[in-house]
C-alpha cells in the first residue's frame, strides 16, 4: 500500500479552504473568511491549528463557529484540529471583505461604514437602505437582533432593516 505523503503546505491549504467555507450561524451568507474572523492556519508536524478572532466580546456565535470549523476539517479528513482564539490584534469591521459587504447588502443588512474609528462610531451616520438604496433613513434602536447589529428604518420604502455596526 502506498501512502501519499501530504506536505504541510498542502495540508495547510486544504485546512484553510475548508475552514474558510464555515459561515456565521447568525448571518449565513457570510463566511468567516469574509468576516475576517479566520486569522490563520498553522500546520506543524501534521497537526493543524486554526486561529480565529472574536468579533464582539460576548458574541455567542464564536463557540458555534469553533465547532463548525472542527466539523468542516473533519469532513476533509483532518482530525483533531486545535482551535485557538486570538485576541490581538482586536477584530474590527474594517476587516470585512468587499465581497462580504456586497453579500451582506444583498441579504438585506446594511454593511458597516468603513473606518471603525471613533468618528465612525460617533460621527454623523448616513446608512443607505439595503433594499432601495435611499439615504433617507433613521435609527430605530442602537442595539438590534444580535450584538453586531442596530435597527434602522428607511423613510423612502418604509422598510425596517438591520445595520451591521462599526466595531
Partner 1 sequence: MPIANIQVSETPLVLFTLRRADDALILGHRLSEWCGHAPTLEEDMALANMGLDLLGQARELYSYAAKVEGKANDEDKFAYLRDVRQYRNLLLVEQPNGDFARTMVRQFFYAAFADLYWRAMMQSKDATLAAIAAKSEKESAYHLRHASEWVIRLGDGTEESHRRAQTAIDDLWSFTGEMFAIDDSDRGLIDAGIAVDPAPLQPQWLKTITAVANEATLALPASNWMQQGGRSGRHSEHLGHLLSELQSLQRTFPGATW
Site of grid cell 491549528: 49
Name the grid cell of 43: 500546520
Query: Using CB under 8 A, which of 10, 74, 82, 145 touches partner 1?
Result: 145
Radius of gyration of the chain (CA): 18
Query: Using CB under 8 A, which of 77, 141, 155, 156 touches partner 1?
Result: 141
Angstrom CA distances, 54 to 45, 97, 107, 144, 167, stand at: 27, 16, 22, 19, 12
Select from 49-57, 66-74, 100-108, 123-131 the region that touches partner 1 (CB under 8 A).
49-57
d(CA 108, CA 144): 14
Asked if residue 116 binds partner 1 (CB under 8 A), the reply is yes
d(CA 151, CA 141): 5
Asked if residue 101 binds partner 1 (CB under 8 A), the reply is no
Query: Using CB under 8 A, which of 29, 64, 151, 157 touches partner 1?
Result: 151
> Contact residues for partner 1 (CB under 8 A)?
54, 56-60, 87-91, 116, 118, 121-122, 140-145, 147, 151, 165, 167
Amino acid at each position: 500500500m502506498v501512502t501519499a505523503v501530504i506536505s504541510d503546505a498542502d495540508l495547510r491549504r486544504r485546512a484553510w479552504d475548508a475552514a474558510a467555507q464555515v459561515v456565521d450561524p447568525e448571518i449565513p451568507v457570510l463566511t468567516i473568511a469574509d468576516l475576517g474572523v479566520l486569522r490563520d492556519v498553522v500546520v506543524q508536524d501534521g497537526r493543524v491549528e486554526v486561529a480565529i478572532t472574536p468579533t464582539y466580546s460576548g458574541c455567542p456565535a464564536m463557540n458555534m463557529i469553533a465547532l463548525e470549523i472542527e466539523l468542516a476539517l473533519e469532513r476533509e479528513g483532518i482530525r483533531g484540529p486545535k482551535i485557538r482564539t486570538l485576541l490581538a490584534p482586536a477584530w474590527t469591521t474594517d476587516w470585512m471583505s468587499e465581497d462580504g459587504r456586497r453579500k451582506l447588502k444583498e441579504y438585506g443588512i446594511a454593511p458597516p461604514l468603513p473606518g471603525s474609528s471613533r468618528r465612525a462610531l460617533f460621527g454623523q451616520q448616513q446608512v443607505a437602505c439595503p433594499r432601495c438604496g435611499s439615504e433617507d433613513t433613521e435609527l430605530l434602536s442602537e442595539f438590534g437582533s444580535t450584538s453586531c447589529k442596530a435597527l434602522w428604518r428607511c423613510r423612502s420604502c418604509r422598510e425596517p432593516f438591520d445595520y451591521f455596526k462599526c466595531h
